[in-house]
Amino acid sequence: MTLQDQKFEDLIEGISIRGYAICDDFLSAQEVANLMITFMLRYNAGKFKAAGIGKRNEFHLEKRIRGNEILWLETDSVDAAERVLLDRNSDFVSYLNKTCFLGIKDTEIHFAKYDIGKFYSRHRDVFQAQKGRVLSMIYYLNTHWVPADGGNLIIYTNKKNIETAITIAPIAGRLVCFESEKLDHEVTETFAERFSVTGWLLN
C-alpha cells in the first residue's frame, strides 16, 4: 500500500468510526508554501468575496455569522499549486468511490481567509441543490500557528445523548474530514489571519 493510500485508509476509518478524521502532513510544507503563494496572489488581486455572495448558493440550516472571505477554485485550474491540491482531492474521491461506494460525483472547493476577530458560529454544512454534501474537507495552510491564535475548529459529536466537543487547531498541512450533514461545527474567533481551503464532496 502506498503512503497516500495509507492516509486515505486512516481517514476513512476515522470517518466510519467517529464521523470525522484528522490527517496531519496531508500536504507537505512545500505544497502548503506553494498554495499560499497562489492564495495570496489571488487575494491581493481582489478575487475574494465575502462568503455567501459567491457564484454558488450558500445555504445553512439557520442564518449564521460567517466572517470569512472566499474564492471558489476552478476544478480545471492550470495553476501548479492548485493542481496538486485538486488532484490529491480527486485521488481521495476515487479511493472513496472504489472502497466505500459513496458515489461521490462532484467536488466544490474554495479558499477561505478569516481576518483577525472573525469566526463562524456553530452550523452544519448542508447544500440547497439536489446534490448532497457528503463529506467536508478542510485543508489548513497556517504555518507558525500557536494556541493563542485561537481560530480552532470545534466539531461536536454525539453519543448516547452526550455531546463531546473536539478542538482542532488549523495547522499547516492538516486535513480534517467529516460528515457534512451530520456534525455540527464552528470556527472560534481567530486572533491571527487564518488561511484554509474548504472542499465538499457531493453525491
The mark string for 68-97 relative to Ni ion (x by CB under 5 A, - otherwise) is: ------------------------------
User: Would residue 68 be called left, alpha or beta, if left means φ above 0 and alpha means ψ between -120 and 50 degrees?
Assistant: beta
Name which position in 20, 92, 120, 127 contacts ligand OGA (CB under 6 A). 120
> Which helix (H) or strand (E) segment is 37 a member of?
helix 29-44
In contact, 27 and 139? CB cutoff 8 Å = yes
* Residue closer to ligand OGA (CB basis): 94 or 117: 117
Q: How far is the CB of 123 from ligand OGA (least distance, A)?
A: 7
Q: Which residues touch 18 (CB under 8 Å, ≥6 apart)?
A: 157
Q: How far is the CB of 1 from ligand OGA (least distance, A)?
A: 29
* Dihedrals phi, psi of 12, to nearest 5 degrees: -65, -40
The reply on whether position 111 binds ligand OGA by CB under 6 A is no
* Residue closer to ligand OGA (CB basis): 150 or 170: 170
In contact, 18 and 11? CB cutoff 8 Å = no
Residue whose beta carbon is closest to ligand OGA: 153
Name which position in 31, 69, 125, 149 contacts Ni ion (CB under 5 A). 125
The reply on whether position 125 binds ligand OGA by CB under 6 A is yes
| Cα dist from 175 to 45, 60, 64, 125, whole Å | 27, 23, 24, 17
Which residues contribute to the site for Ni ion (CB under 5 A)? 125
Which residues contribute to the site for ligand OGA (CB under 6 A)? 112, 120, 125, 138, 153, 170, 185, 187, 196, 198
